[in-house]
Structures are given as C-alpha cells and as structure tokens.
Chains A and B, each alone.
Chain A
Amino acid sequence: MGKLFAVIVVVIAAVSTTIFILHTWWPPPDISVHGVGIDHELAETMIATGVLFVAAQLALALFVWQGSDARAGRTIKRFPGGATPLVAFAVVLVGIEILSLTFVGSKVWANIYIAPPDSGALHIDVQAEQFAYYFRHPGADARFGGLHPELIDDGSGNFFGLDPANDTTARDDIVSSSLVIPVNHPILLTLHAKDVGHSFYVPDLRLQQDFVPGLVIPLHFTATRTGKYEIVCTQLCGLGHHTMRAFLEVMTPDQYDQWLKTQAAQQ
C-alpha cells in the first residue's frame, strides 16, 4: 500500500509539472509595457515553487516507500540532526525567496499602482454597471462633464448621468461601449461604479482592478500591440456577471484619430 501511494505521488508530481513546463495552459502574449515585469515575477515564482513542489513530493514518496519496508527487526531511524537543520533550511531558503520576490515584485507593483501616470496620458473615464462597461472620452474641449447619478438613464443612453442641457463641458463627451485607445500611448482610466462592485480585467494587458461604488479609482497603462482584446468582470456583480464583457481595441494613432472623429460626428 505504501509503495502504491509513493508511485501515485510521483506520477502526480511528474504529470502536473510536465503540463506546467509545456506551457499547455499559459497566459496569452503580453501587450503592455508593465506586463514584462509581471511575467518575469510569475516565471520566477513558477521555478521556485516548482522546485519545492517536486522536492517535497519526491521526499514524501521516498520516505513512505522506505517506511513501507516490513522486514522484521528493522528499527526506526532518527532524522539526521533533528529539527534544527530543517528549521534553518526553511527559514533561510524560504526567507531568501521571500526577500527576492518582494524586492523585485514590489517594484513591479509600484510601477503599475503607485507611480503617477504619464503627464501626457490620454484620460478616459469608465463607468461599470450591471452588466456593461461604458467609456468616455472628453471630446474637443479636453474636459469631462460633471456626473449626476440622478440623471443616469440607460434607456436614453445617459449611462454616466451627464447634464448636457446645463453643462457645456458634457456636450462633446464621447461615450462608447468599447475601450478604444491608440497603441504605445500612455492611458489613464478613472473607474466609477454605478451600482455594485465590478472589476476591470484584461489578461493580455496583465491588468486587473476593482470598481468600488463611491470611489473613483485611477489606473494607467500603455498597450504595445494593436488588436482586439477582451475586458471581463471578475467581481461578482449579479445574475448577469458572466455576460459582463467589453472589448479593448488598440489601434494605430491614425486609426484612433479616425475613430474619434467618427464618434464625435455621431454624438
């Protein structure tokens, strides 16, 4: 029985590790500037934990295999050196790993969430609601109109609660249901939630951030590859949570300018 257990553990460890190594399921290619750091951190963690995983499972299997030796007269053996070397090993090895991951990782984190956005960043306002996202460009005046929750009316397309009748800055705001941005240009999003908590997650962009009702949360990034990517909600927001998706369209600057003109003409 012990030998069977040992064999099963080895097989499980081998199969699991092989699938990780083959990258059978793996993140999509990164399309952001900051994502390089995240991928590096992910890879380093994968190697460190992979080594510990294989070592621990093999040690377990080995000792269980040896422990299943049923010959009479066999005596127990104490672990060489007792608990002290194990404690030292764990503290030093895991400690070093923690320190190195934290030093590198906190820089990556700070780069995304603590560093201020580029001063020339293109500012886009985002409203999340059950179960859609809306994106707002400030228009020709480069200023956003004020928000009035009591004026929100999905039926007439006033998703943000704008007041164009009295608010001149709101009149040229461009609202769209896709996030359209130029490639290689810093972007600043400000996230608002209309009703409950939502989230902004673009796996390709290596970016995720909750929308919190009552808070306006800034988020900045630069996309490096043109294309159409999915934005999904990862914060449970109600019965249609799984349908809450939008597209991120990264365009060349020319395409983007063209898109902006078309949108402005329509609104």
Chain B
Amino acid sequence: MPDTTATASELRHVAPQSFLRRYVFSLDHKVIGKQYLGLALVAVCTGMVLSWLMRWHLGWPTAAVPGLGAVSPTGAPGGVITPEYYLSLMTMHGTIMVFFVLTTAPFAGFGNFLLPIQVGAEDMAFPRFNMMSFWVTFLAFAVLVSAFFVHDGPPIAGWTAYAPLSAVGKDAGPGQAMGQTLWAVSIALFCVGQLLGALNFIATTLDLRTRGMSLARLPYATWAWFITSVIGLIAFSVLLPACILLILDRVAGTSFFVPAGLVISDRLQPHAGGSPLLWQHLFWFFGHPEVYIAILPGFGIVSHILPAVARKPLLGPRVFIACLVAIGFLSYMVWGHHMFLSGMNPFSATLFSVPTLIITIPATVATLLWIGTLYGSKLRFNTAALFCLGFISVFVSGGLSGFFLAQPSVDVYLHGTYFVVGHFHFVMGVAAMFGIFAATYFWFPKMFGRMMNETLGKWHFILTFIGVYCVFMPMHYLGLAGNVRRYSAFADDYMKGSIPLHQFITVAALFTGAVQLLFLYNLVRSRFRGPLAPANPWEATSLEWSTPSPPPHDNFGGHPPTVHHGPNEYGVAGRSGDYIMQASPEPDPGA
C-alpha cells in the first residue's frame, strides 16, 4: 500500500480564479474530463451527420441532399454526392468516431473526471501532462477537420489508411494530397495526447490511491480505465511511429510502405523497397487493441452501474477483473485476423484465428456475469440501467457475429462485406455508445450537480435501442448476400436486389439520429434547469458519491476519505439502506 498522504498534500492546489486557468487551460482533472466530453460531443455530432450523408447516398444515390451543394460545391455539386466525396465522408466518419468519440468519451472523458475521485485522489498524478493531453487531442481534431477545407479535399483512404493509396500523394486520387497528410499528422498528434493520458491514468491508479483503497477495492470502472490505459500505452506507441513513417513517405520521399515499380496515374512512382503489409501490421497492431480501448471502459461502466441499479453485488467480481486482464493481454495477439486475405503467409491465419476465438471466452464470461447479476435482482429502471441492459443485448449480438469473422475459412466469404460493418458497429460502436449514454445518465448529476430528465431519457433509450437494431442487424444480411462495403453506389445492376434494404437502413439511421436530439435537448436543459442533485442520488457505493455534487476543486474538501469496503456492498440485509459506501467506517456485514 503506497503512502499517499504526502503526495496528496503536495498536490493540493488552490482553485484558480482567472477564466483562462479555470475553464480553458485548467489543470483540474474534472474540467479536463468535461473538456474531453465536450470535444467528443462535437465530434460525435459531426461523425453522425457524415454518416447520414453516406446513408442518404446509399439509399438514393442520385437524389440531391438539401443544402449540401452550397456547403461543398465540389464534393456535392447541386447536392448530389460524388464518389470521391462519399469516400471522404466515410474516411472522416470512421476516423472521427473511432478516435475522437470512442476513445475520448468513455476513456479520456469519463476516466479523467471519475478515476481520481474513485481512487480518492485530489487530482491526476501529472496535472500538466493531463492538460497537454487534452489540448494536443483538441489540436489533432482541428487538424483533422481542417482537411475538409483544403484544396484537393479530405482524404479518401478510409480510417485504416492502407498504403500505398495513403502513401503516394495526389497521384492516388483527389483527397490523397494535403488531406491525407493532415490525416496522418492528426492521428500522430492524437497518439501523443493519448500516451500522456494513459501514463497519467496508470500512475494515478497505482500511486494516488487513498488510505484503504487496495487494488481489490478499486471500483470496476477504475479497473477498466486502468487496464485500458495499459493497452493504450502499448497501442498508441506503435501507431505514433507508424504515422511518422507514413508522413515521411508522403513528404520526405522515403519508401517505408511503397514498393518499387508502381505505376499510378500513368506515372512510375519514385519509390522502392517498401512494404504495404508493413503498414497493415503496424496499423492493426494498434487497431485491434483500439477496439478494446473503445469497449473495455464500457465493460467497466456497465459493471459499475449494474450492481447499483440491480441492488445486488456484481456476480464474480474477481472473475470479472480477470476477464478484463485476459482480454487486454489477448488483444495483442489477434491483429492478424484483419489480414487473413492480405497476402501474408496463409499459415499465420490459424495462429491469429485461435487467440481471436479464445478471446470470446473472457468476453462470454463477462456477459454471463452481467446476466447472472440480473438474476433475482430488484432492478431500478432508470435510464442508466436501461442503457446498461441495452449494452448487454447489443454486445451479445455484435460479439457473436465476430465468431464468423474470426475463422479464416468463413472470412474468405464475409471479409470486405457489410457483415463486417454490422459486426463492428454493434460490438464497438453501438455498445460503446450505450456505455457512454449509461455513464452520462448515471454521472451527470455528479458532474453538473443537476439531475437529467428521466422521462426523456427513457424515450431516448427505447427509440435508440429499436433504431440501432434496424440499422445494424440488416447489415449482417447484406453481408451474407455478398454485398461489399465501401462502395459509394452500386453501378449498373450490381447488387440491385439489396437497394431496398439499403433504403430501409437509411430511413432507420436518419430516425435513430433524429432521436439523439432528445438526448441533446435533455443534456442542455438539465444542465441549466434540472432539479438539484443530492450527493448520492443512486444510492451507490464508490467514493464519488461520498462527496458533494459537483465535487469541490480538490474533490474531498481537504479531507481525503479512508476506504473501508469494496465497491460491491449492495443488497446488504438487516439494515435500513441496502448498501454500504466504500468510505463508510461501519464494519463489514459479514464480520
């Protein structure tokens, strides 16, 4: 148990008074967490609008999008989206969602706000790194979005930016000039931001725990953020140099990813000696763990909220932590399953397939633990609870379709089809978003001192839940029928039979998107008009509920709590409340 008292008192800083230090260049983890969430909110709105435009085009390729012609006269002359603009929308949608939403919100956003409070610290271990982490990420987002406004347009190589398409410059097509360079710079900056954040999370969890907060007593959300940061530390430190090499190929004439003898746009490329597969290996060595960076915080959030709403301890807490560790460990052995058909040695397919299938075991166990926790529970159906239940449902659906893609012999048929799109949107997109929604409804009172509107929240959940199934389940059907992804339109008669289903998905996507306005309205209105929140509105156990809503600048008003219990003391019989808070000095019920 580290002696944290000296560190904590050194860290105690006086609340800054100037606007700039308080709200902009703040060192306070709570402000930085909110900044990350604000960035993610802007990013998710952007990414969603891009997906609407894509869906519109897939459903009705020749119909003009009202107003788009004025916004992008070259990309959508008269409002009709061109093929290259479609690919730009797709590239930017993927990049924005994966990096600036699914990484920033559940991990950097909620993690920043909550992790220090949940371990009983006054701030992160390195507040200045923390501030830099956000502002570098913000810069990365600004650089990425600026690609929309450069002369040749935004990049078109997809969020995976496969070389040589991404490496040879404007010969490879519009958007592959400055736009692609900005993409690579943005992602490199993003890596720097996340590395600083991951270091901070790890150091804070290990060194700044308050008295009595042993690792065994860490709340499950904290465990998930901690393991996610370990994964991120390794993953982003591989993607960063990969992006630097890509930038060098583009601007300095190197040939890391480009082999000799390529003729692009009738020009023999001045490159020799590189390997396109090298980029794929480096990218997916990051890319697969990134999936877990997006989803593990959701695991933690669900396991944290579920006992509080089920009024029952989480089933098998230690097993759950072991599952997180196992998933984190295995996440580094599976990247080649994205590359079964990439031309790498076919013998390695089995090697990558087996750990991919094995990783379903801890994922299955975690899911069964949640379902087992729900058995015989006294559920309180608030909005946070509903989103946790929705998380379980969509995670099951998306996780099971992974079974197909993990097998090289089935992937031969389904790779590159909508089956993959349906799979990853369910398992990391929608599931992670449900985790974010659950966290928002659950912790909003703590963050802003006001309650959100539950009626609006429940409508938001029900309509979103039905909506996402209507959007992503049919994509599995499309994939089964051999409908390939990343096509801006289906020319001639190709895939003609699938167009009605595409139109159905488009309508469902526009509907589901529109439902999110309920959430936005609820968010803004509750921020200013919501009823004032008590310190512990959900009768939960972890340390953030022992301090006022919102918490004071140093989280605990100069009195760091002492922890006496684990986070799992729900459903305690024989007392007035059915739970014991972590900071409560009363003895263990069983003792």
Contact A236 B409 (CB under 8 A): no
Tell me if B158 is interfacial: C-beta within 8 Å of chain A: yes
Tell me if A21 is interfacial: C-beta within 8 Å of chain B: no
What string of 1s and 0s marks CB contacts (under 8 Å) between A117-152 and chain B?
000000000000110000000000000000001101
Tell which of B263, B410, B489, B494 touches A105, judged by Cβ atoms closer than 8 Å. B410
What string of 1s and 0s marks CB contacts (under 8 Å) between B337-354 and chain A?
000011100110110011
Contact A91 B480 (CB under 8 A): no
Q: Pick the most buried of B276, B350, B412: most chain A CB atoms within 10 A of its CB.
A: B412
Q: How far is the CB of B310 from chain A (nearest CB, A)?
A: 7
Q: With A68-B381, A194-B262 given, is the CB distance from A109 to B341 under 8 Å?
A: no
Chain B residue nearest to A193 in the complex (CB) = B262
- Chain A residues in 8 Å Cβ range of B376: 63, 66-67, 76-79
- Chain A residues in 8 Å Cβ range of B393: 9, 12, 57, 60
Tell which of A5, A113, A232 touches B494, judged by Cβ atoms closer than 8 Å. A232
Contact B275 A67 (CB under 8 A): no
- Chain A residues in 8 Å Cβ range of B404: 42, 45-46, 49
Interface residues of B in 410-458 (CB under 8 A from A): 410, 412-413, 415-417, 458
- Selecting from B20-28, B187-195, B287-295, B312-320, the interface stretch reads B312-320
Q: With A41-B407, A235-B162, A239-B87 given, is the CB distance from A245 to B494 under 8 Å?
A: yes
- Chain B residues in 8 Å Cβ range of A206: 412-413
Cα-based distance from A48 to B406 in the complex (angstroms)? 14
Cα-based distance from A194 to B465 in the complex (angstroms)? 45
Contact B407 A105 (CB under 8 A): yes
Contact A102 B343 (CB under 8 A): no
Contact A242 B260 (CB under 8 A): no
Contact B409 A199 (CB under 8 A): no
Q: How far is the CB of B407 from chain A (nearest CB, A)?
A: 5
Contact B341 A57 (CB under 8 A): no
Q: How far is the CB of A82 from chain B (nearest CB, A)?
A: 7
Contact A8 B83 (CB under 8 A): no
Contact B407 A86 (CB under 8 A): no
Tell me if A176 is interfacial: C-beta within 8 Å of chain B: no
- Chain A residues in 8 Å Cβ range of B354: 98, 102
Interface residues of B in 282-318 (CB under 8 A from A): 310-312, 315-316
Cα-based distance from A41 to B75 in the complex (angstroms)? 43
Cα-based distance from A69 to B389 in the complex (angstroms)? 16
- Chain B residues in 8 Å Cβ range of A203: 413, 482
Q: How far is the CB of B314 from chain A (nearest CB, A)?
A: 9
Tell me if A28 is interfacial: C-beta within 8 Å of chain B: yes
Tell me if B373 is interfacial: C-beta within 8 Å of chain A: yes
Contact B494 A53 (CB under 8 A): no
Contact B360 A98 (CB under 8 A): yes
Q: Pick the most buried of A59, A83, A89, A154: most chain B CB atoms within 10 A of its CB.
A: A83
Tell which of A2, A105, A161 touches B409, judged by Cβ atoms closer than 8 Å. A105
What string of 1s and 0s marks CB contacts (under 8 Å) between A8-35 and chain B?
1100100010011000111110000000
- Chain B residues in 8 Å Cβ range of A208: 341, 412-413, 415-416
What string of 1s and 0s marks CB contacts (under 8 Å) between A180-208 and chain B?
00000000000000111101010100111
- Chain A residues in 8 Å Cβ range of B335: none
Tell me if A106 is interfacial: C-beta within 8 Å of chain B: yes
Chain B residue nearest to A70 in the complex (CB) = B378
Contact B361 A236 (CB under 8 A): no
- Chain A residues in 8 Å Cβ range of B164: 195-197, 213
Tell which of A4, A52, A232 touches B484, judged by Cβ atoms closer than 8 Å. A232
- Chain B residues in 8 Å Cβ range of A213: 164, 258-259, 262, 276
- Chain A residues in 8 Å Cβ range of B276: 197, 212-214
**How many residues belonging to B are interface residues under a CB distance threshold of 8 Å?**
105
Contact A45 B403 (CB under 8 A): yes
- Chain B residues in 8 Å Cβ range of A83: 315-316, 319, 369, 372
Tell which of B364, B375, B392, B484 touches A90, judged by Cβ atoms closer than 8 Å. B364
Tell me if A87 is interfacial: C-beta within 8 Å of chain B: yes
Contact A53 B400 (CB under 8 A): yes
Contact B83 A113 (CB under 8 A): no
Contact B410 A49 (CB under 8 A): no
Q: How far is the CB of B590 from chain A (nearest CB, A)?
A: 14
Tell me if A215 is interfacial: C-beta within 8 Å of chain B: yes
Tell which of B264, B367, B401, B413 touches A195, judged by Cβ atoms closer than 8 Å. B264
Q: Pick the most buried of A46, A84, A201, A210: most chain B CB atoms within 10 A of its CB.
A: A210
Cα-based distance from A252 to B201 in the complex (angstroms)? 66
Q: How far is the CB of B87 from chain A (nearest CB, A)?
A: 6
Q: How far is the CB of A240 from chain B (nearest CB, A)?
A: 7
Contact B165 A196 (CB under 8 A): yes
20 other A-B residue contacts (CB within 8 Å) besides A1-B386, A67-B378, A106-B409: A41-B409, A52-B400, A57-B393, A60-B392, A63-B377, A67-B376, A76-B310, A79-B372, A79-B375, A86-B365, A87-B316, A109-B409, A149-B261, A149-B262, A196-B165, A197-B165, A214-B261, A232-B484, A234-B416, A241-B486
| Residues of chain B having any CB pair with chain A under 8 Å | 82-84, 87, 156-158, 162, 164-165, 168, 172-174, 176, 258-264, 266, 268, 274-277, 310-312, 315-316, 319, 341-343, 346-347, 349-350, 353-354, 357-358, 360-361, 364-365, 367-369, 371-379, 381, 386, 389, 392-393, 396-397, 400-401, 403-404, 407-410, 412-413, 415-417, 458, 462, 465-466, 469, 473, 477-478, 480-482, 484-491, 494, 498, 501, 571, 573
4 pairs of A and B residues whose beta carbons are closest in the complex: A77-B376, A83-B316, A214-B259, A234-B416
23 intermolecular pairs with C-beta atoms under 8 Å apart: A5-B465, A8-B462, A45-B404, A49-B401, A49-B404, A53-B400, A57-B396, A60-B389, A86-B369, A98-B361, A109-B349, A109-B409, A112-B409, A130-B264, A195-B262, A208-B416, A209-B341, A211-B343, A213-B262, A235-B162, A238-B176, A241-B87, A245-B494
